[in-house]
Structure 1
Amino acid sequence: MPAPLPPPAVRDLGRTEFAECLAAMRAYTDGRGEDGADEIWLTEHPPVYTLGQAGKPEHLLRPSAIPLVRTDRGGQITYHGPGQAIAYVLVDLRRRGYGVRSLVQRLEQATIALLAELGLAAARRAKMPGVYVADRKIAALGLRVRHGCSYHGVSLNLDCDLAPYDAINPCGYEGLRATSLRAEGVAYGRTALLGSWAAAIGAQVAAPVKITRR
């Protein structure tokens, strides 16, 4: 039996422009080869709306000074901005032995576990990728798989301005509300939180595939 693969390496990029980070993810994915290392990139972006590859522009409800960028991930429209943490997950799914659906569940579970450590009860929803606190979305998720490897990832609202969500149907769902740790009254230390989140994501990415025997 081959030795288990280690968790991805973590890189803290600080604040990056969305378009530049997207280009870097694509370049890394295209050039990594069969032995390229899996990585988690932590970042945040200046204000930007991003629309998934099959996204519908009408989910932007009114004109906004915030730029709208069409991208190649799955899903509809979402918002990124200061005070939101993003973990981009560059993983060779073929080598890990599971598919994109499993990666989605692993990213959700890592985020739910982190929030539980902070005393906040969160959950996933059927057919609505992401993480929710009651009826409010606190983490959005979108992925792209190229050459068997993932990029894009999951965003978590820490203390971001929630007003930009009023101009969209978040993730394509009319009336869906967004929330953040600050809005939920959760105290945290940013550096420690990012470290714990990256560690939780890494552990989930590296967790062995469960085999069900009949």
Structure 2
Amino acid sequence: MGKGGSLIIRRPGRVDYEPTWRAMQAFTAGRDLDTPDEIWLLEHPPVFTQGQAGKPEHLLGQTDIPVVKIDRGGQITYHGPGQLVAYLLIDLRRKDFKVREMVQRMEQALIDLLAGYGITARRQAGAPGVYVGEAKVAALGLRVKNGCSYHGLSLNVDMDLAPFASINPCGYAGLAVTQLKDLGVADDLPTVGEHLLVHLKQQLDYHHE
């Protein structure tokens, strides 16, 4: 199959969080050395997800939005309509990627995407994700099991940012968040998703898909 491997893209639309998470777990548990990698591009109804190291105090108050405790790294974050989510179900052994390198490649895909819109974005040491100025525009979180990744990244495109005020995003009190709409990007979520896919394929060595 070669280092590039084959890749399947799925676009399920707006789907509930927990069944999607369980589907990622099942896919990862059932895959073998010949299973093609997959990227799922989607969005979720409003939900807070709390990573394995997540501390309950980072949810700052009562809210009607459900909280789901999950098996990725990191603290608490928010998903909702208008946020682009990309789940990366990748055999890292086949790619010969370490986890840190995988995260850096995901960040670089986002940075390159934003550069295409004329936006300068950056990493921040010790805080995985992508930032414009001091505001976070994209969050990252992975789980790796038997050398294969799941979960992935979320990019704020055109959404209600108010629920972020109910949490310390990714564990950081007072962390500002932003979105592409507020940065002058008029493209809708599906269009941004297709542009992101180009950069993810490039960063993850899927050049011929």
TM category, shorter: over 0.9
**Alpha-carbon separation, structure 2, partners of 1:16 and 1:191:** 14
Q: Which residue of 2 aligns with 1:125?
A: 124
Quote the Cα distance in structure 1 between the aligned partners of 2:151 and 2:40: 9
Alpha-carbon deviation of 1:7? 5.8
Which residue identity lines up with residue 8 of structure 1 in the other structure? L
- The residue number in structure 1 matching 2:15 is 16
Aligned to 2:112: 113
2:51 aligned partner: 52
Q: Following TM superposition, by how much is the alpha carbon of 1:187 offset from its aligned partner in structure 2, in angstroms? A: 1.8
User: Kindly, what percent of the aligned residue pairs are identical?
Assistant: 54
Contact 2:52/2:69 (CA < 8 Å) preserved in 1?
A: yes
Tell whether the 8 Å contact from 1:138 to 1:157 is kept in structure 2 after alignment: yes
Question: Residue 207 of structure 1: CA displacement?
Answer: 7.0
- Report what 2:172 is aligned to: 173
TM-score by structure 1 length? 0.93
Partner of 2:155: 156
- Deviation of the 1:41 alpha carbon: 0.4
* Aligned residue number for residue 27 of structure 1: 26
SS of the counterpart of 1:140?
A: strand
SS in 1 for 2:4: coil
* Shift, 1:202, TM fit: 1.7
Map 1:190-201; keep pairs closer than 5 Å.
Answer: 190-201=189-200
Does the 8 Å CA contact 1:7/1:205 hold for their aligned counterparts? no
RMSD: 1.5
Deviations 1:159-214 (A, max 9, x none): 11010000100000011011101122222243332111012112211279xxxxxx
Deviation of the 1:131 alpha carbon: 0.3
Any idea what the Cα deviations from partners look like across 1:58-80, whole Å, max 9, x if unmatched?
Answer: 00001111001100000000000
What SS is found at the alignment partner of 1:124? coil
Counterpart secondary structure, 1:107: helix
Give 1:195's aligned amino acid.
Answer: E
Instruction: After TM superposition, give the deviation of residue 3 of structure 1 in Å.
Output: 3.8
Deviation digits for residues 11-37 of structure 1 (CA, Å, limit 9, x no counterpart)? 111111100000100000001111111
SS at 2:41's partner residue? Answer: strand
**Which residue identity lines up with residue 202 of structure 1 in the other structure?**
K
- Given the alignment of the two structures, is residue 85 of structure 1 paired with residue 51 of structure 2, yes or no? no
Counterparts of 1:7 and 1:138 in 2: how far apart (Å)? 29
Equivalent position of 1:145 in the other structure: 144
Number of residue-to-residue matches in the alignment: 207
Distance 1:13 1:105 in 2: 26
Distance 1:10 1:127, change over 3 A: same
The ranges of structure 1 where at least 4 consecutive aligned residues each deviate by more than 4 angstroms after the TM superposition are: none
- For 1:30 and 1:205, the matched residues in 2 are separated by 22
Counterpart-to-counterpart distance in 2, 1:194 and 1:207 = 16
Task: Assess if the C-alpha contact under 8 Å between 1:157 and 1:181 holds in 2.
Answer: yes
> Is the Cα contact below 8 Å between 1:7 and 1:203 reproduced in 2?
no
Segment drifting more, 178-187 vs 141-150: 178-187
Match of 1:212 in 2: none
Question: Are 2:204 and 1:187 equivalent residues in the alignment?
Answer: no
- Give the Cα separation in 2 of the matches to 1:8 and 1:97: 16
Alignment-mate amino acid for residue 147 of structure 2: G
SS in 2 for 1:156: strand
Verify the 8 A CA contact 1:40 1:89 in the aligned structure 2: yes
Q: Which range moved further: 96-105 or 8-17? A: 8-17
**What are the ranges of 5 or more consecutive residues in structure 2 without an aligned counterpart?**
none
User: SS of the counterpart of 2:21?
Assistant: helix
